[in-house]
Structure 1
């Protein structure tokens, strides 16, 4: 079995609610956070299968079309490729925030489905996020959890880092 690295997207990989962009609804709204490309390359080099698990309620709310989300993710893959970084797969929940669907974080379905499809040992894996629902999804799935950002008291994670790159540098190699 493999070890997986499950990453939230907005606020972990790319800017959101920044001076440049409020929400990422078009490819031109997508900006990698400083160090994110290098961080994912490091995680790849350390032997992790890297996945993105992201709530995208803007689709259900009508702020974005699903085809725009696919174009955004294509831009993300292209931007990451410039750092020789790769993501195995991107899972997303398109439902409205209060639809009570099975896939929206803090529920663990996206993580569990990817783990099954890619033969991932969740006990050797990590969920990295910048919000409490990300951490709760990782806990429910049985991963170690990493909170990145400055609001550390918001979530009860296993580890805390200012950003993805700091965590990637400290993260152990897969055995």
Structure 2
């Protein structure tokens, strides 16, 4: 269990691109050679795995919907990612993906469909005892809609951006967050 401000959290939701791996500007990690872990992420996931009952990845992957990559390509990338995480003593409970193109899709963040898919498999999840870590507004909005503690990571936005008014915490990366617990 992770404790922040005297409150206990047992489930961690993570975005993928820009949180776990380097986000490819105007592109997608279409294969293993393009999937690069952000420095410290594998160590962070090892630390976080000891503190959370479940770590759930929720990721929009529009590249599949656009035909830039296949479901099989995405599965290969995720298998590689999971293998590397496990080799570094980390664990991921589930990966939920939305390949839909349109913002109206219930599963496309900031909409909350992927969270409820996770809840089907892990009915013990309490969203108010969960943390969402992401690098974009849609991740933060996703977490807020569910009553989660929200953490922004990365350098996508200047510090003057309004997104910083709507988060519970900011860290430069997942590793720095893991060290704070």
* TM-score exceeds 0.5: yes
Q: Secondary structure at the match of 1:32?
A: coil
Give 1:31-110 correspondences, 5 Å limit. 31-96=36-101, 98=102, 100-110=104-114
- Extract unaligned runs of 5+ from structure 2: 1-8
- Choose the corresponding residue for 2:126, options 121, 131, 156: 121
> Normalising to structure 2: TM-score of the pair?
0.86
Task: Give unmatched runs, 5+ long, in structure 1.
Answer: none
Aligned to 2:4: none
Asked whether the 8 Å contact 1:115–1:122 carries over to 2, the reply is no
- The alignment partner of 1:114 has SS state of helix
2:172 is the counterpart of 1:162: yes
Aligned partners of 2:146 and 2:116: how far apart in 1?
6
4+ aligned runs moved over 3 Å, structure 1: none
Task: Give the Cα separation in 2 of the matches to 1:154 and 1:78.
Answer: 37
Q: Deviations over 1:43-95 (max 9, x none)?
A: 11113310110000011111010011010000001111221111011000011
Partners of 2:52 and 2:28 lie apart in 1 by 32
- Secondary structure, aligned partner of 2:82: helix
Count of residues in Structure 1 that have an aligned counterpart in Structure 2? 167
**Could you tell me which residue of structure 2 aligns to residue 6 of structure 1?**
13
Report if aligned partners of 1:38, 1:83 keep a CA contact under 8 Å in 2.
yes
